[in-house]
Amino acid sequence: SRHLRPQPCLAFPRRNRAGGSSASIWARMPAAKEEEKQDVAEKETEVEAEAKEEEAKPKSSGPAKKSGKKGEEPDPLEEIVKLMEERNFGRAAAALTKLLKKNPDDPVVLHNLGCVYTEQEKWAEAEDTFTAAFESQKKAGRYNDATLFGLGTVLVEQGGMGKLMQAEALFRDCLDRAIAKEEHGIMETYRSFQALGECLGAMKRWGEAVEAYKQGLDMGLRMFAEDHPRNQASRAMVARAERLARLQKYMRIGLWTATAAVPVFCAMMWHYVGGPSPFELIHTLTGYNMSASSAVVATLDLPDDVRAPHGGEF
């Protein structure tokens, strides 16, 4: 689904606070929404005040001077992100590749190039690029969780048990890091649950996938409207995973029953056709071997003391 694709970024994220638990997320979610609304309202008020101040200033009769912002060169990454938002991935990839020639280890450029390759469904190139971005972030000592998420996404798309197991580990790591951010990582937690469910489903572990999808749906109902498209998609995924989990359970029970029934059926058919019992087979084979040994000894021309050293017969 589209909302599980890795997101572009313009810079490194600030270091996040550690600690916290999933319970604190639910407790602080309404407060976080209210704080966000207050911040937006304050920013709008500040912008309006600045605009009024500019209008109140007397206009100079001299020639207009270029402001510092207008004189500055535009950030190439901002233009590239705009290209990505317009879904012009070919030009975005070319521009990012050009930037990488100047600085091959730029983690932000590498991350965005991995996002472009993901949208172009070039999974192998995206995996290599996200891996290079992660290694560059590792050297700098500053991590972007979106890079781990993007790497896990392309691993799931490629499939194969080895890559899926790596993706599961990455998504669980993303989930732990998102929960540690408390109210600042609510959306990341939601996306990580959804991606983990998709990964577990690809590995046919439907029982675990149901639990991950349900966690994501529970968060979605708290974050979005009841009939939001994401919640509708989550309900569909939960229903599908539950149905496949039941089917998988019945198939396993049937397989185990058939495996146990095969030897029982063979034994019943053997008895039905009148075959000897195992004890009769052992007695017959043992008696046959003893008779054959006596016949062989009788044919040999041996002295009497050798034939029966203890005064008996063979």
Distance separating the N- and C-terminal Cα atoms of the chain: 84
CB 8 within 8 A of CB 96: no
Using the 8-state DSSP alphabet, how is residue 198 labeled? H
**Maximum alpha-carbon separation in the chain:** 145
Residue 181 has pLDDT above 80, yes or no: yes
CA 154, 18, 224: angle at the middle one, nearest 5?
60
64 and 228 Cβ atoms separated by less than 8 Å: no
Q: What is the pTM of this model?
A: 0.65
* Whole-angstrom distance, CA of residue 299 vs CA of residue 305: 16
d(CA 156, CA 166): 9
* DSSP assignment letter at 13: P
| pLDDT value of position 274 | 79
Q: Give the distance, in angstroms, between the CA of residue 88 and the centroid of all CA atoms in the same chain.
A: 27
Per-residue pLDDT, 150? 92
- DSSP secondary structure letter of residue 57: S
Q: What pLDDT is stored for residue 63 in this prediction?
A: 38
How confident is the model at residue 16, as a pLDDT?
38
pLDDT band at 47 (very low <50, low <70, confident <90, very high): low
pLDDT band at 213 (very low <50, low <70, confident <90, very high): very high
Condensed to tens digits (0 to 9), the pLDDT of residues 101-129 reads: 998 889 899 999 999 999 999 999 999 99
**Above 50 in pLDDT, residue 14?**
no
